[in-house]
Amino acid sequence: MNLILSESRRLRFFSFTMLYLAQGFPFGLVNTALPAYLAERGESGVAIASFIAIANLPWSFKLLAGPFMDRWTYLAMGRRRPWVIFAQSCMVLTGIAFAFFPGGLENVALLSMLCFTLNVFAASQDVAVDGMAIDVLPPEEHGRANAFMAFGQVAGISISTAVSAFVVINFGMSGIAALLVIAFGLILSVAVSVRERPGEKIMPWGSGEASQRSLDMKPDSWKAIALNLGRVMFLPASLFIFGTAFIFRFAYGVWISLVPIVIVQDLGFESTQYSSFISAVGFIAAMTGLALGLVIDRKGVKVFYAFVLGFYGVLCIFIGLMESAWVSPRFLITIGIIQAFIYQGGFISFIASCMKLCWQKVSATQFAIYMAGANIGLSLGAGTYAALANSLTPSQMFIGLGLVFFVGVGMVWMADFGTHDTRVNLLDNPGRTGDFAPHS
């Protein structure tokens, strides 16, 4: 049976949903279940924030993978798919490694390094999947495809959060290992089963050959990549969206460090209660978010992105001003539901806007730079919380987050996507400096 991404919209949506599901599993474990467990065990806010910052660092440096994926690949199996299979396989192997460190849950430093390693390969898989999506998705599908991809990631986060919270307490590191190996192994089978374009090989020992398009897009040198990357990255819209992505994830890094401390340690809720709630509302928000892709495709990502960031800012300021209501479970549940829906809209807009700006000649590297900037923001956000935890009250931090989000609104509004498209089309003209190959 021929499963070819470039020829089937349903297959594209399904495959990218599943591959993003794999990326969500580490987030659910590392950013929700384990911090809640550590908080319940009595670890300090600084220790938990440091764990989150270290474990998420690979997402900040995944731009290093982009140039290798643009420069080298086994084109007979597709432009990006060999890297997807490699990274997904390494995620399976890292899951196995968790079983060899049964004391990891009692040693925050060891746990940080294991989760760091897991995220090295998860981030690499992300770069390859994003590059493959940019290569095979028509522009008119970007919004819907990103809604499905965001759903996949949030579904992975939700499933991982709920299941791993139970597994951590009852089965320890061996349970985490089994969970990761099963999940990553199943998703690896999807990557192995599909082709990017007709005529390509399923595996190296099979029949097939590189498509002409893949051959045409292959860069001849590192210099060509660097020149083309510089020409597109320093366009105004690109810089504004890069800054917006950084701000969005910086604020979220503070949020995921601050909220477990307030909920579990300050207000006394159990870590499993917190993790299960986050899992449930996140999944519902992701399901609802599938409809947002069509809205983005029709109305435009810029207006939607600005609206979501502004709404996030209002929510944070409201929380900060309503500290007396934090003891009310009804208030916390309402805020948690609203935040989940806002974040889902922000995530879809964030990915769609970055994808819209990418030039296919250097798409893996360019998209990786946007994502790296965003994830540097997340790690710095967690680190900022650790640095300010003893200086600012939680309510002051929420108000500060609101102001940060409003800066993001201003930056995304200054990005002109239409002008960017025109300039990228001009870059595609034959004979310009930095093209991959000379033109006659």
Task: Give me the pLDDT at residue 271, please.
Answer: 67
- Give residue 172's region: left, alpha or beta (phi > 0; psi -120 to 50): left
**Does residue 266 surpass a pLDDT of 80?**
no
Predicted model pTM: 0.72
For residue 62, being part of any structural domain is answered with: yes
Q: What is the pLDDT at residue 436?
A: 38
- The pLDDT assigned to 439 comes to 35
Query: Does residue 210 lie within any of the structural domains?
Result: no
Q: Is residue 208 part of a domain?
A: no
Domain-embedded: residue 211: no
Parent domain of 29: 5-202+216-427
| Higher local confidence (pLDDT), 10 or 379 | 10
Q: What is the pLDDT of residues 124-157, one digit of tens each?
A: 998 889 888 888 888 777 777 878 887 888 788 8
Residue 54 within a domain: yes
The reply to whether 207 falls in a domain is: no
Is the model's pLDDT at 217 over the cut of 50?
yes
CA distance 432 to 133: 26
CATH number of the domain encompassing residue 272: 1.20.1250.20
Does the residue 436 lie in any domain? no
Q: Please report whether residue 254 resides in a domain.
A: yes
pLDDT (tens digit per residue) in 337-369:
888 888 888 888 888 888 888 887 787 788 878
Number of domains making up the chain: 1
